[in-house]
Amino acid sequence: MPDPASGRPELLLRARQAVTPDGHVSVLIAVTRGKISAVLPYDTDAAASYPGVPVVQLAGDEVLLPGLVDSHVHVNEPGRTQWEGFATATAAAAAGGITTIVDMPLNSIPAVTDAAALAVKRAAAAGQCQVDVAFWGGAVPGNDAARPGLHAAGVRGFKCFLVDSGVPEFPPLDSQALALAAHQVAGLRSLLLVHAEDAACIAVPGGPDYAAFLASRPPAAETAAIRRVIDVARDTGVRAHILHLSAADALPLLAAARAEGLPVTAETCPHYLALAAEEVPAGATTYKCCPPIRDRANRDLLWEGLRAGIIDCVVSDHSPCPPALKQLPAGDFGLAWGGIASLQLALPVVWTSGRERGFGLADLARWMAAAPAEIAGLPAKGAIAVGRDADLVAFAPDEEFVVEPGLLRHRHKLTPYLGRRLSGVVRRTWLRGRPVFGAQAQPAERPAGELL
């Protein structure tokens, strides 16, 4: 239905296939002042209804998707901008059909653990972003007094670690500090995001053997930590979100928490759904991430967790670094930085693997747009519906491509997906009705992205 208060649209998009909350439909979308002002039948006479308004016709092989929301991105600027930055990260996001990212409070310097650090990060991002950017804050030992100010300044929630984060400026919380943080975050009516691995279960391996690295971070590290988070959620009522779930052994715990009515959600990542430990060559540290990529049987169970709704969303955990930090000549999994660059590739990676398992684009729109928008508290995002931001993607699901460095807009092109053939090509991306990738996207004096 049209929104009669929205006024005359500036753009119309016509698609024979669109993924909306009502399912796969043929539509004419009206965009007014950056919002979706009408979702009309495909055969609506645009010239009669909206004379003079330009119409973009999607190709017959394209599906109109809502702009994706990636709520787990490490941009790293300022302080480690040589790892990634807002200009390159958001350009990669737009090329991947992602119209909103939520930036993690590390690995930038300063880490976002108080309002002053958030102001520094927002200043660094201003004027650089091709897509919209929101921010998480940090919960670390000793920043209790700063958290209310961070919340008032607009962070969407608070991230903490239960194990060493890899950077000294973002230390982990012990059990007492976790409980205190949960109580405080619950009082703020905010969200506590947890990197859930138990340090007591983790060893420090060295060398090029991936099996040894995998054994050093067993599923028990995740399940032990997730039990702690569930207990804290039960005790405090805090909304808790489990980051980058890799161990399928935790699925029964999460299912039981959901059945109990506890406010605990979980995400997984493209690399856990598409890659497998059996495929990782010795010394191939481009595959290193924490928690690690596990075996094929575990991967299959994660897909079943998505099917059952135990896992809520799929986000990239884009955590790039300069190639030297991956220790490629030595191939040492103990010394290499743990993180995978995948922001631009998340959609085709998940689609390629998901369609083989019988999932459809409506599933991807739920996992990669609607659910992360809801978890991060972004009600204008995540769906093709009247009143939402006109964040839209023209996606060709049957077109294939090979991942090559020249296609990637990340600052560094190092990724385990190089050379892989993937299905699904993002042809155009619109942010609030403005083209930011593909045909008609024009360089602008000031990029279209806003800081949310």
* pTM given for the model: 0.96
pLDDT at 434 over 50: yes
Calculate the average pLDDT of the chain: 96
User: Would you say residue 161 lies in a domain?
Assistant: yes
Task: For residues 194-223, give the mean pLDDT.
Answer: 95
Is it the case that residue 307 has pLDDT exceeding 50?
yes
Q: What's the CATH number where 195 sits?
A: 3.20.20.140
- What digits encode the pLDDT tens for the residues 9-46? 999 999 999 999 999 999 999 999 999 999 999 999 99
User: What residues make up the domain containing 261?
Assistant: 67-375
CA–CA separation, 190 vs 168, rounded Å? 25
* C-alpha to C-alpha distances, 299 to 104, 277, 293, 304, 353, nearest whole angstrom: 25, 10, 9, 9, 11
pLDDT band at residue 6, thresholds of 50, 70 and 90?
low
Residue 404 lies in a domain: no
Best CA proximity match to 242, nearest among 226, 219, 262: 226
DSSP strand pairing (132-135 vs 98-103):
parallel
Phi-psi region of 44 (alpha: psi -120 to 50; beta: other; left: phi over 0): beta
Number of structural domains found in the chain: 1
* pLDDT, average across residues 336-362: 97
Is residue 390 one of the residues assigned to a domain? no
Q: How does residue 7 score in pLDDT terms, banded at 50, 70 and 90?
A: confident
Give the closest residue to 292 by CA, choosing from 350, 352, 211, 193: 211
Q: Is residue 430 part of a domain?
A: no
The reported pLDDT for the residue numbered 312 is 98
**Residues constituting the chain:** 452
Residue 233 inside a domain? The answer is yes
Does residue 237 have a pLDDT over 90? yes
Is the pLDDT score of 4 beyond 90?
no
For residues 63 and 397, what is the distance between their CA atoms, to the nearest angstrom? 7
Residue 160 located in a structural domain: yes
Q: What pLDDT does residue 395 have?
A: 98
Any domain includes 14: no
Token pair for 279: 């495929």
Which residues lie across from 102 on neighbouring strands? 134
Pairwise CA distance, residues 60 & 81, whole Å: 41
pLDDT value for 205? 79
Q: Is 147 within a domain?
A: yes
Q: CB–CB of 436/443 below 8 Å?
A: no
- Among 106, 96, 165, residue whose Cα is nearest residue 131: 96
Write out the two tokens for 110: 């300063």
Residue 204: pLDDT band (50, 70, 90) is: confident
